[in-house]
Structure 1
Amino acid sequence: MRLEAKNVSFHYGKEKIIENVDFSLEQGEIVGLAGPSGCGKTTFCKILAGYENPHSGTITINGLSIPKKGYNPVQLIHQHPEKVVNPRWKMSKILSEAGVPDTELLESLGIKDEWLTRWPNELSGGELQRFCVARALGVNTQFLLADEMTTMLDAITQAQIWHAVLEIAKRRNIGVLVVSHERKLVEKLCSRVIQFNTNK
């Protein structure tokens, strides 16, 4: 399986955010996307995951368009988990959006049973992000886009989450895009690193 972007461009009004970008991620590959804040990394991830449509170019999996209905095999984990969960749902319902939770995955992420009955505002940022990671790693996920996934978290939580994500990615042959402005992190985790530059 290959996730591929060909000649992708995107702009807000007259401002060019992304210009003629080519990119590919193989299933099972761990690739880094590095670049300074504001260079378009998050926008590019949203395009890859189907949240935004490019103004030109294509996004495909094995040459086919990403499905508009059903489970999206390309899952995006955002930097701010509180912005991507329903505040009116308890954590058990949020987690089950992607299907029946993987008990082994929950354990590896350090998710405690008592957290399942809590509301999002009753959890810390690190606890909430663990749920967002677990939700993104549904059984049909083929590619995971981790957009500054652990930037806001303490070092111990960062290490635990990355260890769990990379272990399950290896086991399930999931392609992972590690997006960060921290060059050292992506060099440590990834087999290759792409420096993201824009033509703004």
Structure 2
Amino acid sequence: MLRRSLVTSLALLAMAAAPVRSLACSFEDPNGAAAQRVILSVVYPNALYVEGAVYTALTEGILRPAHFAQPGDFFALDRIARNLRRFAGLLGSEAPPDMPEFSMVLMGPVLWTRFSPGADGIAAEPHVAGPLSGKVVVVSDAPVVAALVKGDLSGRSANEAGLLRYYGDAAEIEKISAALVAAFPGGGYELGSAGQDVPVASQ
């Protein structure tokens, strides 16, 4: 029994470690999205908490239905990609000179984006195969990015509500999180529980 459990665990870990760089997003493989999220939750522990945080934020009015793609929206991918590029542009305006590269995965569509700071700001490369090797990974979701770029949600509130989770080097996470808070002051709903810890996990 113990041996079978060990074999199962090793198989799951092997499956999780290899495909993270080549997962198709749900726009390409809608039927495989649930399995991909499970794999991500193994590679990035508690990543699925973001989905629960998004649901809670919707019920509490932190996020609104307008921030979500509607069923049958054929332009959802294009809209998400535009929001991610706008996110990069706004983040770049507050990024420190030593802002690190990082990747973001949106849990709903399992969509990866790579962010690379440069002399002209931060370049976003949406809809890529997986994260940058050895760099911080931010786990979030499309409605969160939409709310941030529209000014309906502050970066601080997104952190406090668990709508953003960070994985990787602690010093790099601190720079990314601080830049995000500065770049997205928000103008909509604000949490009353200021001072909560930012959800951070190290690999």
For the aligned pair, the TM-score class normalised by the smaller chain equals: under 0.3
Q: Name whichever structure is richer in strand by fraction.
A: 1
* Greater relative CO, 1 or 2 (CA 8 Å, sep 6+): 1
Q: Name whichever structure is richer in helix by fraction.
A: 2
